[in-house]
Amino acid sequence: MSRGPERAEASGRVALGCIADDYTGSTDVAAALRRAGLRTVLSFGPPEPGTVPPSCEAIVVALKTRTAPVVEAVARTRDARRRLAELGAARLYLKYCSTFDSTDDGNIGPIADGVLDDVGAPLTVVCPAAPEHGRTVYQGHLFVRDRLLSESSMKDHPLTPMTDPDLVRVLSRQTPHPVALLPHATVRDGAAAVRDALDTLRRQGVRYAVADAVCGGDLEVLAAGSAHLPVVTGAAGLAGAAGTIAAGDGRYGTSTLTAPADEAALPAGPGIVLSGSCSQTTLAQVEAARAVMPSYRVDPAKTPDRDGMVAGARAWLDAHAGGGPVMVYSSAEAAERANSPLGPAAGAILEDVLARAAEHAVGLGYRRIVVAGGETSGAVLDRLGVRSVVVAGEEDRGVPWCRSTGGPELALLLKSGNFGREDLLVRAIGGHR
Ligand SMILES: Nc1ncnc2c1ncn2[C@@H]1O[C@H](COP(=O)(O)OP(=O)(O)OP(=O)(O)O)[C@@H](O)[C@H]1O
Ligand SMILES: O=C(O)[C@@H](O)C(=O)CO
């Protein structure tokens, strides 16, 4: 059932190498680069030799480093950077979450420090703005729609609660290097003004310029004003703008990854939703899915041991195999999670339980796998042995279908916790029965 590595190694025409700190974030940024017109390959972990086609113009390496121990996260990112350099990536983009998911220990600051040290880059831009998803940065403060980050549901995130909206302050706690603001007034003055301001900050010894951006136009200005930097950091918004510049420079204008062809190539077969994300958006999507498909809740309050939860999910899947789309989920409100009998290990245990449920489902013949949550997606794909995918059309903005190119032949939709309309899970699975 598994297909071998595809085609030969990339050949030095890779406009952008991107390292994403979680799996759903990697599909989000891969979709943005593809939309920008770049032929994009997404690899879970550094690409193995022979797995990157020569025609590839952007390579996204997905890592599971957002909440990993700092030393491990930095080491894995540096490895990925070395591999992208071998593959000829002209510039590097570090992709983190549009809600800047991190803790005072990292990992955004330490990862960026490790990469900038390796590349010998004195300064980079930091901008998680993704206006199409309501993430904007103004006066260095991150907003989720009309609320400061610290007043959004991100304050209750199970792994990276975000309680400070001031990104200069947040990042300063994660790095020994100076962090400063690149204000909106400068961005409004255009790309040349941004470039001048970045040069001034560099001369002042600043390493991280936290840039304001409140709309797509601001991101275009920032991308143009930072096009001379070897490393840029942000969410999918700035990456898409940088990708558009790369696609438009004449060398990369012939992309052929059209959505219909890709979608036609997606494997057919029964579909399953696995949801470990606990965001408000996902909780609403899970409710909508529960209303129309059989669902099984992995509930630590009822079965507080890992193997018991796995056994319960497997038995339920056995009983429902062959009967249309199904959902297995652990997603729960903050109040319920706070009383979890699993304690602080709950996140990792539930990721593992859903990953093992996914493995069982594939064994039963499920071929369309929708996963909600970045950490959860990482656990599921690692368990399934999926190492690389081709990115196809988007079901919702930032949520593309992917076709596995190694490991079992699957259609995969990895949904970022905060993304997608309320009926996304229903549409994704229901539309492809
Ligand atoms: N009932 C629960 N109790 C405690 N933790 C849970 C529960 N259900 C899920 N979790 C954990 O919450 C975490 C959710 O993180 P995940 O990255 O999967 O989703 P997310 O943060 O919403 O998605 P994204 O990173 O794409 O925004 C996982 O570690 C998951 O195992
Ligand atoms: O940037 C985002 O919000 C997403 O791509 C993400 O990283 C979710 O994990």
Q: Which domains does the chain have, with CATH numbers?
A: 4-247 (3.40.50.10840), 264-430 (3.40.980.20)
- Residue 282's SS3 state is helix
- What pLDDT score does 12 carry? 54
* Positions of the chain with pLDDT lower than 70, given as ranges: 1-12, 249-264, 431-433
Task: Please tell me if the CB atom of residue 334 comes closer than 6 angstroms to any atom of ligand 1.
Answer: no
Does ligand 2 come within 6 angstroms of the Cβ of 60?
A: no
Name 196's Cβ contacts closer than 8 Å, sequence gap at least 6: none
**CA–centroid distance for 131 within its chain:** 16
Is-contact 62 42, C-beta < 8 A?
yes
Determine the atom of ligand 1 nearest the C-alpha atom of 414. 26
- The enclosing H or E element of 274 equals strand 271-275
Distances (CA, A) of 138 to 82, 94, 181, 213: 34, 21, 10, 7
Measured by CA distance, the residue closest to atom 6 of ligand 2 is 25
Contacts of 387 (CB under 8 A, 6+ apart): 43, 44, 45, 48, 51, 406, 407
Using the Cα atoms of residue 142, residue 144, residue 149 and residue 155 in order, give the sign of their dihedral.
negative
Point out the ligand nearest to the CA of residue 306.
Answer: 1
- CB contact at 8 A, 144 and 99: yes
Give the distance (Å) from ligand 1 centre to CA of residue 245. 35
Q: Is residue 32 within 6 Å of ligand 2 at its C-beta? A: no
Phi, psi of 287 (to 5 degrees): -60, -45
ω into residue 107 within 30 of 0, thus cis? yes
Cβ pair 294, 262 in contact under 8 A: no
Q: Are 30 and 240 in contact, with CB atoms under 8 Å apart?
A: no
Provide the pLDDT for residue 109.
98
Give the list of residues 6+ apart from residue 56 with CB closer than 8 angstroms, or none. 10, 14, 39, 40, 41
The CA 319 to ligand 2 mean position distance, Å, reads: 34
Atom of ligand 2 nearest to the CA of 96: 7
At 392 the pLDDT is 87
Alpha carbon of 51 to ligand 1 centroid (Å): 30
Give CA–CA dist 407/387, Å, rounded: 7
Pocket test for ligand 2, best of 98, 100, 375, 377 (most atoms within 8 A of CB): 98
Output the CA 265–ligand 1 centroid distance in Å: 30
How many CA atoms within 13 Å lie on the side-chain side of 168? Answer: 15
The answer, yes or no, to whether any atom of ligand 1 lies below 6 A from the CB of 417, is yes
- Backbone dihedral region for residue 171 (phi beyond 0: left; psi -120 to 50: alpha; all else: beta): alpha
- Residue 235 CA: nearest ligand 2 atom is 1
Ligand 2 centroid distance, CA of 307 (Å): 30
Tell me phi and psi for residue 13, to 5 degrees.
-110, 25
Q: Which ligand is nearest to the CA of 341?
A: 1
CB atoms within 10 A of CB 345: 11
- Is ligand 1 within 6 A of the CB of residue 278? yes
- Beta-bridge partner residues of 41: 59, 390
Q: Which of 142, 145, 141 is nearest to 133 (CA)?
A: 145
CA-closest candidate to residue 245, choices 219, 284, 207, 263: 219
pLDDT of residue 10: 54
Q: What is the DSSP string of 45-85?
A: SSPPTT-S-TT-SEEEEE---SSS-HHHHHHHHHHHHHHHH
ipTM score assigned to the predicted complex: 0.97
Closest CA to 98 of 239, 207, 230: 239
- Cα of 360 vs centre of ligand 2, distance in Å, is 27
Q: Rounded to 5 degrees, what are φ and ψ at 393? A: -70, 160
CA-closest residue to ligand 2 atom 4 = 25
Cβ of 375 less than 6 Å from ligand 2: no
Give the Å distance between the CA of 287 and the centre of ligand 1: 16
Hunting for tokens 């996902």 — which residue is that? 282
352 Cβ below 6 A of ligand 1: no
The answer to whether the CB of 350 is under 6 A from ligand 1 is: yes
**For position 90, what pLDDT does the model report?**
86
- Phi and psi dihedrals of 61, rounded to 5? -105, 120
373 lines ligand 1 (CB under 6 A): yes
Specify the 3-state DSSP secondary structure of 126: strand
Residues 6+ apart with CB under 8 A from 348: none
Query: Which residue owns the Cα nearest ligand 1 atom 29?
Result: 347
* Cα 112 to averaged position of ligand 1 atoms, centre (Å): 24
- Using CA atoms, how far apart are residues 110 and 71, in angstroms rounded to an integer? 8
The rounded Å distance from CA 278 to ligand 1 centre is 5
For atom 5 of ligand 2, the residue with the nearest CA is 25
Question: What strands lie across the sheet with 147-148, from one edge to the other?
Answer: 135-138, 141-144, 147-148
In this structure, the dihedral spanned by the alpha carbons of residues 359, 83, 207 and 65, taken in order and rounded to 10 degrees, is 10
Looking at residue 9, its pLDDT comes to 57
β-strands 271-275, 231-234 pairing: unpaired
Decide: 243 and 32 in contact? Cβ < 8 Å.
yes
Cβ neighbour number for residue 163 with a 10 Å cutoff: 12
Give the tens place of pLDDT for each residue, 104-158: 999 999 999 999 999 999 999 999 999 999 999 999 999 999 999 999 999 999 8
Ligand 1 and 332: CB distance under 6 A: yes
Q: Are 371 and 402 in contact (CB under 8 A)?
A: no
What 3-state DSSP class applies to 128? coil
Ligand at minimal distance from the CA of 130 is 2
**Residue 22 CB-half CA count within 13 A:** 31
Residue nearest to atom 3 of ligand 2 (CA): 98
